[in-house]
Amino acid sequence: MKPATIAYLLGPLGAVAGPCRPKSSSSTAVEVTSSVTTASTQSTAAPTSTMDAPSTTEAPSVTPTVTASTTSSSSTTTSSKTVPTGSGLDALMKAKGKLYFGTAADSGTLDKRENAAIINSDFGQLTPENSMKWDAIEPTRGGFNFAGADALVAYAQQNGKTVHGHTLLWYEQLPSYMDSITDKDELTSVLQNHISTIVGRYKGKIRAWDVVNEVFKEDGTLRDQNVFFRVLGEGYVRIAFEAARAADPDAKLYINEFHLESGTSKKVTVGMAAHVKKWLAEGIPIDGIGLQGHLGGANPDAKGMRAGLEVLAETGVSELAITELDIVNAPASEYAAVVEACLEVEPCVGITTWGVSDVDSWQSQSSPLLFDTNFQPKPAYDAIVAALS
């Protein structure tokens, strides 16, 4: 998430927050469109498809069972108790009055039958890991590659899942043409066109959007070493949210950030909480705050999650969500604590893990997800089932 520095390199304690990093995936044919031309090209940046006339193959129909056990304490042992289809994590979460238990995916993930089986059984919402980021979806100025995003949205619709769009504005993974923009009016136009084109294409098909992503430093001040702040100042936040609201008035609009798992840190209090209160008072249409939830290693642990949620619930937004959850070595107690925190704070509407299994995780070396490299549920899965039961 942060620029690559020594503090953010992978180490024995895991990676410091930042899964918005791309993970390479296989690509198919790409449709690139602009306001004046339509052309075909080959993409290496993201999986591909088209929405209006999907070129992807429909995901296999799978009726899996998921296994779980409440007796193992190891974070790596495979669980053994059978959980019937239809009583997976999403169904259990909804039975508690929440909206979803979701996961991140893209075409490369969905193409694996094992992932499709798990998603269909356990997850009710999908977040595109990379295919909606700026460099993947508008790689050339005015030229949009909707293929990977279309494939994910089509899969979600075919399989009864909602979608959380990610992400419309982020200072990372930008194509090179963005850095050459120095004029305020020009960047405003580029930003508005980017957001209105993407959100408008999926109007009514995407439940919520991460409109702006990772805008705060650890001291609570706004990141200033990026083209958006450099040219537009803080005003880019209003421009982005207003463009998204105009393009789809019914979508929930989020600001998304890492290291919010605290009730006292400056990033939470001086940064997110204070700014969101101010922006709402100024009429900026922010509906939700996303707490990414990259935990363990050099990142926070789960003990501060409830406090962070409680502080952010006081900002005036209607929703909170844990948007990118993964925990180094997947300790069962930590996953259970995150789920319990969401259950205890009413505005928390759902949880999304940042990937299905360790095979596709952005930090697979730290085994941070609920399913192992053999696509088997871990004790952390069992702990979540217990917390939701």
Give 313's pLDDT tier (boundaries 50, 70, 90).
very high
Domain annotation covers residue 338: yes
Tell me: pLDDT of 245 over 60. Answer: yes
Please say whether the beta carbons of 89 and 343 come within 8 A. no
Indicate which CATH number applies to the domain containing 84.
Answer: 3.20.20.80
Instruction: Identify whether the C-beta of residue 314 lies closer than 8 Å to the C-beta of residue 281.
Output: no
Residue 287 contacts residue 317 (beta carbons within 8 Å): yes
The string of pLDDT tens digits covering residues 81-127 is: 343 333 599 999 999 999 999 999 999 999 999 999 999 999 999 99
φ/ψ of 95, rounded to 5, equals: -65, -20
Q: What confidence tens digit (pLDDT) does each residue in 115-137 have?
A: 999 999 999 999 999 999 999 99
pLDDT in tens, 178-226: 999 999 999 999 999 999 999 999 999 999 999 999 999 999 999 999 9
Q: Determine which of 16-20, 74-78, 80-84, 176-180 has the lowest per-residue pLDDT on average.
A: 80-84
Could you give the number of structural domains in the chain? 1
Q: How confident is the model at residue 29 (pLDDT cuts 50, 70, 90)?
A: very low
* Confidence band of 20 (pLDDT split at 50, 70, 90): low
- Are the CB atoms for 354 and 326 separated by under 8 Å? yes
35 domain residue, yes or no = yes
Query: Whole-angstrom distance between the N-terminal and C-terminal Cα of the chain?
Result: 34
- Residue 183 placed within a domain: yes
Residue 16 banded pLDDT, cuts 50, 70, 90: low
Residue 55 has pLDDT above 90, yes or no: no
| Helix axes of 235-247 and 184-201: crossing angle, nearest 10 degrees | 30
Across the strands, what pairs with 166? 210
Mean pLDDT of 38-65: 33
Answer yes or no: is 1 within a domain: no
Across 335-348, average pLDDT: 98
Q: Structural domain of residue 126, as residue ranges?
A: 6-388
Tell me which residues are annotated as active site: 214, 324
Mean pLDDT of the chain: 84
Q: Mapped to the 3 state alphabet, what secondary structure does the chain carry?
A: CCCCCHHHCCCCCCCCCCCCCCCCCCCCEEEEECCCCEEEEECCCCCCCCCCCCCCCCCCCCCCCEEECCCCCCCCCCCCEEECCCCCHHHHHHHCCCCEEEEEECHHHHCCHHHHHHHHHHCCEEEECCCCCHHHHCCECCEEECHHHHHHHHHHHHCCCEEEEEEEEECCCCCHHHHHCCCHHHHHHHHHHHHHHHHHHCCCCCCEEEEEECCECCCCCECCCCHHHHHHCCHHHHHHHHHHHHHCCCCEEEEEECCCCCCCCHHHHHHHHHHHHHHHHCCCCCCEEEECCEECCCCCCHHHHHHHHHHHHCCCCCEEEEEEEEECCCCHHHHHHHHHHHHHCCCEEEEEECCCEHHHCCCHHHCCCCECCCCCECHHHHHHHHHHC
Q: How far apart are CA 221 and CA 52, in angstroms?
A: 42
Please say if the pLDDT value at position 3 is more than 70: no
pLDDT at 25: 38
Among candidate residues 222, 260, 43, 220, the one with its CA nearest the CA of residue 133: 43
126-176 pLDDT, tens digit per residue, is: 999 999 999 999 999 999 999 999 999 999 999 999 999 999 999 999 999
Only one residue has tokens 């209003």, namely: 238
Mean pLDDT of 31-42: 34
120 falls within a domain: yes
Percent of the chain, pLDDT > 70? 78
pLDDT score of 221: 98
| pLDDT tens per residue across span 368-384 | 999 999 999 999 999 99
Cα 153 to Cα 134, 159, 204, 205: the distances in Å are 17, 10, 11, 7
Residues 251-310: tens digit of each pLDDT: 999 999 999 999 999 999 999 999 999 999 999 999 999 999 999 999 999 999 999 999
Q: What is the Cα–Cα distance from 157 to 226, expressed in whole angstroms?
A: 35
Residue 22 clears pLDDT 80, i.e. is over it: no
- Residue 78 vs residue 209, higher pLDDT: 209
Q: What is the pLDDT of residue 87?
A: 53
pTM given for the model: 0.83
Does residue 298 or residue 69 have the better pLDDT?
298
Residue 27 has pLDDT above 90, yes or no: no
Q: At what angle do helices 332-344 and 379-388 cross, to 10 degrees?
A: 30
- Whether the per-residue pLDDT at 40 is higher than 50: the answer is no
CA distances from residue 261 to 211, 279, 342 in whole angstroms, order as listed? 20, 21, 12
- What burial class does residue 44 get, using C-beta atoms within 10 Å of its C-beta: 0-12 exposed, 13-18 middle, 19+ buried? exposed
